[in-house]
Amino acid sequence: MRTRATRLTQNLLLVIARGTGAAFDGVTEVWFPSGQAVIAALTTPAGIQANDRLTQDEKNFIDLAQSSYFVTEEHVPLG
């Protein structure tokens, strides 16, 4: 299956020695070249099927009721 995503990263939680607990175990980022590319990827029959399969798989290892989902747009202030 062809993907329109340009990058996928997983930011796993680093344990801090100060004894503070984190509210999450990790963060997964999926990068697309534009908002239009996200819409295009998720509205095709293949994209809908892939998203459904992903959602079903996530139920095996993610507490969906305690999870947050959000969409951001990167802004690079320097560079």
Q: What is the pLDDT of residue 57?
A: 93
Q: What is the pLDDT of residue 60?
A: 92
pTM above 0.75, yes or no: no
Q: Is it the case that residue 56 has pLDDT exceeding 90? A: yes
d(CA 3, CA 46): 10
Torsion angle of alpha carbons 20, 11, 28, 63, nearest 10°? -30
Collapse the DSSP code of 70 into the 3-class scheme (helix H, G, I; strand E, B; otherwise coil) and give the result.
Answer: coil
Q: Is it the case that residue 18 has pLDDT exceeding 60? A: no
Q: What percent of the chain has pLDDT over 70?
A: 71
d(CA 78, CA 75): 9
Q: What is the pLDDT of residue 20?
A: 58
Q: Is it the case that residue 58 has pLDDT exceeding 60? A: yes
What average pLDDT score do residues 44-68 get? 89
Query: Which among 27, 28, 22 has a CA at the least distance from the CA of 5?
Result: 28
